[in-house]
Amino acid sequence: MSIDNSEDTISCRSRQARQRLADIINYLTNIEAQPSSAQEVNISSSNVEDVLGKFDMWAGNLGALRSPETKLSLDQRLAIDPEIRGQICVDWDELLETLDELTSALQAGDYDKQEDDFSQDSHDEAEESASDEEKI
């Protein structure tokens, strides 16, 4: 089975995500080199490097970065199930959008959202999920 549009592949999305992570690392490295602004950022380049390392391991194990035409690529292995492949592509698009938002926030100097804010968001989502489960 052939994948028609190279931009519509898991491989393309995976490469885009990897590049965006690398761009964020470069941007943070530049910020960290400027002592006046380095303290304002709540995320460090080493944190993102860790994420990129985990991403590379995950993508390598699944074949997400392989050419879509190769037999071991995630695209080829999911070509027989378009529904699952489609959901993965939707998830990739959401990740890419989030990385774009992070990049925009960093470039705008909008570093003021503290880790506690993220923890509270996660806590609220967990409570909401638990409430939904109780209804069932």
Distances in Å between the alpha carbon of 90 and those of 50, 93, 95, 124? 24, 5, 9, 24
The whole-number pLDDT of residue 116 equals: 45
**pLDDT the model gives residue 47:** 94
Tokens 């490469």 belong to which residue? 15
Evaluate if residue 133 carries a pLDDT over 50: no
* Residue 111 pLDDT: 60
> Could you report the per-residue pLDDT of 74-125, keeping only the tens digit for each?
999 999 999 999 999 999 999 999 999 999 998 887 665 544 444 445 455 5
Q: What is the pLDDT of residue 18?
A: 98
Question: Per residue in 5-58, pLDDT tens?
Answer: 567 899 999 999 999 999 999 999 988 888 775 556 678 899 999 999 999 999
Q: Which long-range contacts (CB under 8 A, 24 or more apart) does 19-28 make?
A: 20/96, 20/99, 20/100, 20/103, 21/48, 21/51, 21/52, 21/55, 21/99, 22/52, 23/103, 24/48, 24/99, 24/102, 24/103, 24/106, 25/49, 25/52, 27/103, 27/106, 27/107, 28/106
Domain boundaries, the chain: 6-135
pLDDT tens figures, 55-75: 999 999 999 999 999 999 999
Query: Quick one: CA dihedral 75, 78, 83, 85, positive or negative?
Result: negative
